């Protein structure tokens, strides 16, 4: 019997209201995600988990695109306290290398280094992956695209995501890009 997995992407303090890289409405998805968690065989949470001085930070040289966020072993990198931690079976940390960022929970952005998530899902007998969390137009999108490219059936539950929308409409474009890659948006 194939199993279903819920991938909960980066529901961390720095992406929530008051955080360093707050995603508008991020706190609104926590209760829905907690409800969803009950319905899956496997719940996997990802953490954006950067070393100090990470290349994606605007303070690094050359400057990256983002304010300092999700620095390892800081409050900002912790999962939001309202998320039901006990329902999580497995954790994946990403963006842990100093010199390359990682929007996807499967690969670094250079598409070379793997996190081991694809292997873990296969070992668990997962064929269909459901993706929720933050941010729709970055880590959710790249995680969903890589999951599909790895051969999994992929559904993104849009109500349980929120977008950064650095440029207005990034959310809509992300959804179109995922649909074009044979990902179901529900």
* Residues involved in catalysis: 10, 94, 139
CA distance 39 to 4: 9
CA distance 105 to 45: 9
Q: Which stretch binds ligand VGL (CB under 6 A): 24-32, 115-123, 131-139, 148-156?
A: 131-139
Q: Which is nearer to Zn ion, 164 or 175 (CB)?
A: 164
Binding mask 147-176 for Zn ion (x = CB under 5 A): ------------------------------
Q: Which of residues 76-105 bind ligand VGL (CB under 6 A)?
A: none
Q: Which is nearer to ligand VGL, 40 or 138 (CB)?
A: 138
Both tokens of 183, joined, read: 């990902």
Q: Does 10 bind ligand VGL (CB under 6 A)?
A: yes
Q: Which residue is it, tokens 């890589």?
A: 146
Residue from 40, 49, 57, 66 touching ligand VGL (CB under 6 A): that is 66
Q: Does 138 bind ligand VGL (CB under 6 A)?
A: yes
Give me the residue whose beta carbon is nearest to Zn ion: 48
Length, in residues, of the chain: 186
Residue 118 preceded by cis peptide, ω within 30? no
Q: Please say whether the beta carbons of 129 and 5 come within 8 A.
A: yes
Residue from 8, 29, 47, 48 touching ligand VGL (CB under 6 A): that is 48
Interacting residues of 74 by C-beta distance below 8 A, sequence separation 6+: none
CA distance 176 to 185: 9
Q: Which residues bind ligand VGL (CB under 6 A)?
A: 10, 48, 56, 66, 134-135, 138-139
């Amino acid at each position: 019997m194939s199993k279903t997995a819920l991938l909960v992407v980066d529901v961390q303090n720095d992406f929530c209201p008051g955080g360093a890289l707050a995603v508008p409405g991020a706190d609104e998805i926590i209760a829905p995600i907690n409800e969803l968690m009950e319905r899956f065989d496997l719940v996997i949470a990802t953490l954006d988990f950067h070393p100090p001085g990470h290349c994606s930070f605007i303070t690094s040289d050359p400057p990256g695109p983002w304010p300092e966020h999700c620095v390892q072993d800081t409050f900002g990198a912790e999962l939001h306290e309202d998320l039901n931690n006990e329902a999580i079976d497995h954790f994946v940390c990403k963006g842990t290398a100093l010199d390359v960022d990682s929007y996807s929970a499967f690969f670094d952005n250079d598409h070379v280094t793997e996190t081991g998530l694809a292997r873990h899902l296969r070992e668990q007998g997962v064929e269909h992956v459901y993706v929720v969390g933050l941010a729709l137009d970055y880590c959710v999108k790249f995680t969903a695209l890589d999951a599909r490219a790895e051969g999994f059936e992929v559904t993104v539950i849009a109500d349980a995501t929120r977008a950064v929308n650095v440029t207005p409409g990034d959310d809509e474009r992300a959804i179109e890009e995922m649909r074009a890659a044979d990902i179901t948006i529900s």
